Every structure is written in C-alpha cells, then in structure tokens.
Amino acid sequence: MTKTPAWRRLAVLLLIGAVATVAFLRWRTLATAPSGAELERHVRSAADVGIAVIGAPKEAPAAEFDGLETEARREPDAKLVLPSGFEWQGSFLFENRAGVVSPVEQGSFKLVFRRERGDARGIDVQCVNGSWNCTLDEMPTGLEILQIEDARVGERACDVVSPRRIASESVGEPLEVIVRWPIKSLLHVLDDETGEPLQSILVAESSGRFLPSERQVLHGRPLASPLTLNDLPLRRGPQDIWVSAPGYAWGQLAVDIGDGTTKSVRLKRSGQLIATFTNVPEREKGTLVIQVRTADPLRNRTSFGQLPEEEITGILNAWEEIVAEFQLQPANATFTTTLLPGFYRVEAAFHQAGGAGSQVLASDYVTVSAGTPTNVSLRLKPPTLEGVCAVSGRIHVPSGMKRARAVTLRSRRTGKDVGALRPALSMVSEDIRGRVYEWGPEALCWGEFQIHVDGVEYLTTFTVPEIAEHILELNIPRATEFLLRFVDAASGAIVEPTDVSWIPALASDVTHTGTSQTVSLDTARGGYPVSCAAEVICVFAGDLRSLGYELASEDKLIVVSPGVRDIPVRRFTAVRVELRERGEIRSIPSGFWFSVLDAEGNYVNGASWSDTLFEGHELSAAGSYHLEFESIDGYEEIGPLVVDVADGEIKTVTIDLVRKP
C-alpha cells in the first residue's frame, strides 16, 4: 500500500479546518440576525443613507454616504480599556433625512465631562456594529454638563441628534447615541448701504472685543457670499465670529454652527490705518504693544492746553475703548488694519522683560475716512529700563509629597495674568528627605514677585533685591490636613455641593493662581477632606447656585489650619430660563438675553449669570416679575411671561422653541 505523503495529509487537515471555520461563522451570523421586520427596516435605511447595516444580505446595495463610496476599513476594538472602573455601553445609530435610524458599522465619539467653570475631560469611544462600550476610571459625580461631542461615522464628522445632554444620575445605564449629517448653516455677507452680496470674504475666530489679526483668519483663500459655515474649522454650537471684506470694517456676530439657520450681516465701508514706528526697542529688552483706541473728537490733546502727556493719557483712558491690539516686532515696524470711519488714538506701550510695569513711548490721534488709507508715523522715545537681578532658585519638597512640575513667576505690579515668566525647572537630587529642584537664572526687575510651584500647589511672594545676583531658597512645608464644610449662614444646616475645588492663594488679597484641585465629599465625616501645602487657599463650589446658595468673595479665602473649617453660604432668589427644542434641552444662543421687570414695569437691577444651558438673573426680593425675551434667529417670537418667585427660590422657566416654517 502506498503511503500518503505528509504534505497531502497536512492539506486535508487545513481544508477540514477552513470548512469548520466558515460553518461556525455562518451559524453565528444567522443566530444574531435581526427579525424580518428589523431586517427590512435596516436594508431600507441602508439604501437611503448608505451605511453598512448589521445583518444585511450579500446582495444589499453597496455602502454609500449620500452617494460617496466608503472605503473598507479594519474594525477597531470597540472597548476603551481604562484603569479599573465600571463599564458603560449603548448603541450608535444614524438618522437619515427621512428620520429613519439604523446602526452604524463603524464610528466614534468623544464622551465629555465638563464642569461649570469650563474644566473638562474627555474619553474617546470607538463604535462597532452599532454599539459602543467603554470603561470609566471614576464615577462622574458632581459634573454639571455631560455631553457627546466630535461624533463621526467612519471618518466623516456628524451632528449629535440625541442626547444633547446626559444627566449624571443616568451614567451607567444603556445609552442610545443618534447622529446625522451636519445641517448646513449659511451666512450672507452684504454691503450695509446697497444690500449687495460681497466677495473675497474673510472669517476669523473671535478674540473678544478686539479686532482679529491675520493669523486668526480661518481659511487660506477669500470666500464668496453666501458662505457655508460648516466648511470652516469652527466648533459645533453657538459662538462669535468676525467677518470682513476688502474695503469693509470687521463685523462681529453670533452664529450657531450646525443649527441649519441662515443669517446675514451687513458690513460698513471702512478706512485703512497704516501705522509706522521708528526707534523700536530691541526685542531682548521687552515687548512693544500697539493699541488703537476710539477717541472723542471734541476732547483731543489741544483741549488740555499744556497738560503733561501722562495726565492727558490718564484723562483719555476714562472714555476710550480699545478696538485693536498688536505686538510689534523690531523687524516689522509697520502694521495695517481696517477701521470704521472715526477719530482714534494710536498708542505704543513698552513692557520691559523681567516684570516691570508698562511705559507709553508714543501716541498720536488720527481721523480715519471711508475708502482712503490714513498714514501715521510715530517715533518712539527710549524706554526707561529698570534695574534687574539675575535670580536663581532652589525648591525643597519634603518626601511623601507630589513632584514639582513647573514654576511660574509674576511681578506684583503687573497683575496675575500679565508678564508671567516660566523658567525651566529641573530636579537635581532625591533622597529619603525629599527632592530638590533648581531654576534660573532669570533676569527679574527689582521689587516684589509671586512664585507658584505647580504640582505641589504652593504660592508665596518674594522680593528681588537691588543687587546683581540672588539665589532664592524655597522650602515647601509639609501638607496640612483639614475638613472643609459649607454651612447655611441662616439655619446652620450643612450644604453638600458636589463640584468643590481649591487653588493656592495669598492672604494679603484675593490673588490666586494654580491648577484647580478637586475634592470629594466624605459622607462619613460630613465634609470635604483637604490636604495641601499652601498656607492660604481659595475655595470654589461650582454647583452651589443650582442648590440655591452663593459663596461670597470674602468667604472664599481660607487660612489653612488643622481641624474643621466651616464656610458660610447664603440663599439667593433668582429666575432662570431653560430652552428646549423637541423636548430636549438646547444650548443658549450666543447673544441671547431676557429682561426682568417688576410688577410696575421697572427694570430689576441685580447680578446675572449664564452658561451654555441656562440664562438667569438674580433678584433682590421675592415677588411677581415680568420676563421679556430677545428674539432668536430662525424661531418664533417668545412672548412675555409673568412668574411668581418666592424668597430663596430659583424659579426655572422652560421655553419651548418653535422653528419658523
């Protein structure tokens, strides 16, 4: 008998294994296939939207995205593995133009946990075969806003239909995420006088009330009106943008990317200001900041006779408004900007390196006319340079404490947000006593500075002596532990907010800086355990207002000491507005506002607050109030309302928005 060769025996075994594998995969597909009705709905929506649908037969139409063929992609792992925590899962569905939903074969989104003050953390979640699954490293307690952002089908960005906002208490329950292709938002840019559409349009990110610079323009080539805002690199949701065109002034307006509305803006014809500066200080000596301010034509410099320049500047600052601000480099001592016709003052202020205060080196007044360039030339006087000292530092951190990550220096004369210096920090030794770090040398002006050590969150002040060199020895104290509690100032009852944090501060004033440190409620001890090296801290409770309380500024500063520290909080009376569309909470459009009038029709004075989800006004007393609303583009008018507010109550008024046909 002829012996079968070994290679033939191996081939037969491989063939049997392949057949068994195909049979198993076919059995699993049939076992998990949807019912006939579900399959028919899936296939129908796949043909409409072009999404690969689970359970579709082989003869189903090729996957398309509104006519664009999709590329075959490797299925990613649908589970995001994080440190030990708890799992959260749900479905990922696509809604087509007819409102039919179907599971998505491959997609992704970002799960964002955002606090009221704007702090946020996000988790990237992958979606496969219509479902998603992730593991959270901690329960998101006390988070004001929980949202789905940056959703994608394949690689294509989508809008989130639902949920717009996730309640914290529903975290962990199965969550259905529905997305759709973005609804285009259009913008017509028109001539203010003729109403004609403009060409060569520029769109820039909003940087507050200052005119944008060239680097803030969002696109490489000019656009024509009307333009599709979705095509620009703007985030989804309400925001402010700047718009301009050659020969026209910049105009700022509020838009909502992805809401499907069409807006228009009329631009006024502008003049051009060309400012040239000579005798510009060397860059190593400091920074030259150019400001353009509106000025009163009836109160120019001739109105003050022989007053010194310093006094003229002081008087003008009382009614001038900054409209543009630029940093000027010695290599490019000219800047150009477009302005509305009017009277302006151009000012050059020098900020010496090392933390000195600013000095005005030159200023002049110009009249800008529409359609013509206006030239101004300013020769800068030499700045008065203050004495500097080469300061180096050694920081000693006790063992058992966190590592120092960075050092920030600020002059006490320039404010906490001006002239921050961040020298490189390096650890030079580590033993059982702790760690030693060094920084510098740094050229600092003589006078008082504050130093913040990031990581250990320590803040203090020091004085730069009037000598050539100096070494600052900083010994970080060991952490002090204490229990923080919030107490109703009237009743003495314990109040338990969930969004509590602190940052280091200075006892002499409310200056504070650093990385926010979150603390959690210890229900067994009835408070918030805090461990910190800082001698003074500033405490925040972001969700106190949602509980009907407020924390006064003078009560936020806490001198650190062992034991229990009680912070008084007080109830307040207020009315707040919440907008809904199709039953879901929606973001407040940028620029939306409402007025609160008393029973006699008088405007109610009081502090107001807002975020992306509600707008509110604080009231001085209980009573009956009238609410009058600003119109929202694309929606029916909101009629006036009358509400009764009790003492210590935050009255929530829900407005159901109705889109115009």
Q: SS3 sequence, 138-177?
A: CCCCCCCEEEEEEEEECCEECEEEECCCCCHHHCCCCEEE
Beta partners for residue 460, in sequence order: 451
- 283-318 burial string, b = 16+ CB within 10 Å, else e? eebbbbebbbbebeeebebeeeeeeeeeebbeebee
Strand 202-205 with 175-180, pairing: unpaired
Question: How far is the C-alpha of 254 from the C-alpha of 245, rounded, in Å?
Answer: 18
Structural tokens at position 299: 């109160």
For the chain, give every domain's residue range: 30-181, 186-267, 271-379, 388-475, 480-571, 573-656
Q: Any residues with CB less than 8 A from the CB of 331 and at least 6 apart, and which? A: none
DSSP state of 34: P
Residue 278: which residues within 8 A CB-CB, separation 6 or more? 333, 377, 378, 379, 380
Tell me which residue of 514, 490, 518 sits closest to 504, measured CA to CA.
514
φ, ψ (nearest 5 deg) of residue 113:
-110, 110
CA distance 645 to 111: 36
Give the Cα separation of 23 and 561 in Å (integer): 71
Domain 388-475 homologous superfamily, CATH = Immunoglobulins (2.60.40.10)
Give the pLDDT score at 31: 43
The CATH classification of domain 480-571, taken from the options 2.60.40.1120, 3.20.19.10, 3.40.50.10800, 3.30.70.20: 2.60.40.1120
Domain 271-379 sits in CATH at 2.60.40.1120
- pLDDT score for 85: 59
CATH architecture, domain 186-267: Sandwich (2.60)
E strand or H helix at 568: strand 563-571
Residues 6 or more apart whose Cβ sits within 8 Å of residue 362: 277, 347, 348, 378, 379, 380, 381
Backbone angles phi, psi at 236, to 5 degrees: -70, 150
Query: Which residues, given as ranges, of the chain have pLDDT below 50?
Result: 1-4, 7, 12, 22, 24-84, 116-117, 142-143, 297-319, 416-417
Cβ proximity of 159 and 181 under 8 Å = yes
> What is the C-alpha separation between 499 and 541, in angstroms, rounded?
5
Give me the half-sphere count of Cα atoms (radius 13 Å) on the Cβ side of residue 399. 6
Cβ atoms 124, 132 nearer than 8 A? no
The Cα angle at residue 218 between residues 71 and 275, in degrees rounded to 5:
160
pLDDT of residue 375: 92
> Each residue of 322-380: pLDDT tens digit?
777 777 776 668 878 888 888 888 988 888 877 766 788 888 998 988 888 899 999 98
Between strands 480-488 and 494-495, the pairing is antiparallel
Query: Alpha-carbon distance 114 to 143, whole Å?
Result: 6
CA 152 to chain centre: 21
Helix (H) / strand (E) containing 132: strand 131-136
User: Rounded CA gap, 171 and 165, in Å?
Assistant: 11
Pairwise CA distance, residues 417 & 436, whole Å: 28
Distance CA 474, CA 493 (A): 41
Contact 291/325 with Cβ under 8 angstroms?
Answer: yes
CA distance 141 to 617: 27
Q: What is the pLDDT of residues 69-109, one digit of tens each?
A: 333 333 333 333 333 457 888 999 998 877 788 999 899 99
Let me know if the fold of 388-475 is the same as that of 573-656: yes
Query: Would you state the structure tokens that stand for residue 446, as one six-digit string?
Result: 């003589």
Element (H, E) at 41: helix 36-49
How many C-beta neighbours within 10 Å does residue 638 have?
20
pLDDT at 162: 83
Specify the DSSP class assigned to residue 547.
Answer: G
The confidence score (pLDDT) of residue 16 equals 55
| CATH class of this structure's domain 573-656 | mainly beta
Tokens of 91: 């479905």
Query: Alpha-carbon torsion 633, 636, 638, 639, what sign?
Result: positive
